[in-house]
Chains A and B, each alone.
Chain A
Amino acid sequence: MRLRREGALFLRTVIGRAYPRMVGLQREKSWLVFDVLLPLLQVSAFVFIYRAVQAPPEFTGFVVLGGAMTAYWMNVLWNMASQLYWEKETGNLEIYMVAPTSRMAILLGMALGGMVATTVRAAAVLILGTLLFRVEIALTDAPALVGVFLLTLVALYGMGMLLSSLYLLFGREAWHMSNLLQEPVYLLSGLYFPVRSLGAWAAAGASLIPMTLGLDAMRQLLFPAMTDFAFLPVHYELAILGGLSILFVGGARWALAYMEGVARRQGRLTVRGQ
């Protein structure tokens, strides 16, 4: 009975916290410009470079896919990793902390809401980019593609959940931390080029960012003619993404509990301006 009640509370919390993400983010119409048109401009630049150097047409698909995944990274960085910090600044964190619910449920709600809201944006970039640049897709294994995509999101948002507690612990200025991480991840995860070009060691290091392997695997499944540019076989990448998901979600749970302990002892983490 108690377990059932706890389960229901967990679920309600996830839905409750996901709601502002799903609804709120779409209410500011500026997202069409900032999250669809601007990424498309960036995608265009790379498309024209690849066309200018007469790269195979599949590279256009690589770039469009990377452009769509950018939306998730931006969401993880600015709306997930920094979220607890902003919640503290707006006064919501204290209310979350005194609610009789799981903090993980609150973080999961943020992540789930972010995923759903961002999928709308990512899909818009993908569809517009595909139509605009006439990308030809040759899907080989739909279930594997869905699996890779979902695991990438779980690992990526798990990383965001972990970062959200760490930002609160170590970073007074989440904004600077996010700025610091934004561009290097664009480079390391191979958003606009095959990550294999970085060299085996650098690519292996970059694989800690879930988007790196996720993108590599999705590109292999959507553009099979380009497997020469693949970093690892898809099934390896799936397994590593599964491992990363467990690592990041587990790490997020630990970091959250640790952060709460520090908050209660030091009395500073939930107070604004600290």
Chain B
Amino acid sequence: MSMSLAVKTENLGRVFRLKRREGKTPRGEPARKEVVALSGVDLEVPAGELFGVLGPNGAGKTTLIKVLNTLLSPTSGRARVAGVDVCENPAEVRRHIGVVSGGETSGYGLLTVEENLWMFTQFYGLSSREGKRRIAYLLDIVGLADRAKTKIYHLSTGMRQKMNFARGFLTDPEILFLDEPTLGLDVQTSRLLRDFVRRWMEEQRERTILLTTHYMQEADELCGRVAIIDQGTILACDRPAALKRKLQGSSAVRLQLVGVEDPQGLAERLRELGALTLSEVDGHLEVDLILERDNAIQRALGMVGESGGEIVGLQKREPTLEDVFIALVGRGLSGEGR
């Protein structure tokens, strides 16, 4: 892997053919429904990069990871991991990778944390001594050292997630896929794990991480570059700062409103000025607007007035990756705003 690309995909696609339930097939339609999970994905991730894939739930992030870690075959295009084609030689690909998925429930409840992790080290050929040394080190890092001898059915969901996180790093893989690794974790734990990821990357320059997340702060904080994905297609790919710079000239504004009689009607009108998301927060309507021109704010305020709404808060802020996403697809990462 000299000047090597840790991951390269060319026109990668994955279509799922789902069987319709008997009696549920509309007349004249095929018995199988096709769902496009990935379409025309081109990515190049050099070795040593912490690369993020940011998108809402169902955008295709996990499918992409599954193709790259050899769990799924692509239906079109090619993917190479550590220079090896995932279809031609999946066994070789597996020698170079590690995977951690958020919300994972792996392991055996009757075994202790230490025993579970030891078992996984054996599947990677680590000697027992080396495995135990790394287990102790990683349990300390993730704050589970005092739970090493606890059977995992006594662990909370967060603790189990920490254990799974540690498992991914046990074998010190060349390329690590982190699929929503902080999903469901509290803020403090997420920060702890993010700090560790950063340190782990700094320890050896050749290590590569491909991180999927729908937490824009996570992507922003950790990743050298970020690809924004929606409905299986990569919409943009660049450094977080560069992506946000694309919104220069635009204004990111948050309005907090009360008394709006027809929020959807107002949203329709505001959409003439730029992309937006709409949500109910603490009894008021919160509108995040990406205005294409700075001076459009006056018009936006006028529209609010015409809708009978009253402005209780107005905040102009620096664009975030979420704003980039809103500007690209017209809705937020959590899915609202369409």
Q: Chain A interface (Cβ within 8 Å of chain B)? A: 5, 8-9, 12-13, 15-17, 19-20, 23-25, 27-28, 90-92, 94-101, 106, 263-265, 267, 270
* B110 on the A face (CB < 8 A): yes
Report the tally of A-B residue pairs with Cβ distances under 8 A.
Answer: 93
Residues of B within 8 A of A97 (CB): 70-71
B residues apposed to A, CB below 8 Å: 14, 16, 63, 66, 69-73, 90-91, 94-95, 97, 99, 101, 104-108, 110-111, 115, 118-126, 167
Once the chains bind, are A96 and B123 in contact (CB under 8 Å)?
yes
Closest to B126 in A: A12
Report yes or no: B123 in contact with A16, Cβ–Cβ below 8 A.
Answer: yes
Residues of A within 8 A of B16 (CB): 267
Q: Are A267 and B107 in contact (CB under 8 A)?
A: no
A9 touches B111 (CB 8 A): no
A9 touching B125, Cβ below 8 Å? yes
A101 to B63, CA, bound (A): 23
List B contacts of A20 (CB < 8 A). 108, 110-111, 115, 119
B99 and A5 contact, CB distance less than 8 A: no
B106 touches A95 (CB 8 A): yes
Q: Residue on B with the closest CB to A26?
A: B110
Can you name the residue of chain A whose Cβ is closest to the Cβ of B87? A264
B120 engages A95 (CB within 8 Å): yes
> In the complex, which residues of chain B have a beta carbon less than 8 angstroms from the beta carbon of A19?
111, 115, 118-119, 122
- Assess whether B72 is in contact with A264, with CB atoms less than 8 Å apart: yes
Jot down 11 A-B pairs with beta carbons below 8 A, ordered by A: A19-B119, A24-B111, A90-B105, A91-B106, A94-B106, A96-B123, A98-B94, A99-B120, A101-B125, A264-B70, A267-B72
Cα distance A138–B104 when bound, in Å? Answer: 54
Q: How far is the CB of B8 from chain A (nearest CB, A)?
A: 19
Inside 8 A of B90's CB, which chain A residues have their CB? 264
A91 to chain B: which residues have CB within 8 Å? 104-106
With A5-B125, A19-B119 given, can you name 19 additional A-B contacts, CB distance below 8 Å? A12-B122, A20-B111, A24-B111, A27-B110, A90-B105, A94-B101, A95-B99, A96-B123, A98-B94, A99-B94, A99-B120, A100-B95, A264-B72, A264-B90, A265-B73, A267-B14, A267-B63, A267-B71, A267-B72
Contact partner of B106 among A9, A23, A92, A267, CB < 8 A?
A92
Residues of B within 8 A of A90 (CB): 105-106
Known contacts A98-B94, A99-B94, A100-B95; A24 and B108 CB within 8 A of each other: yes
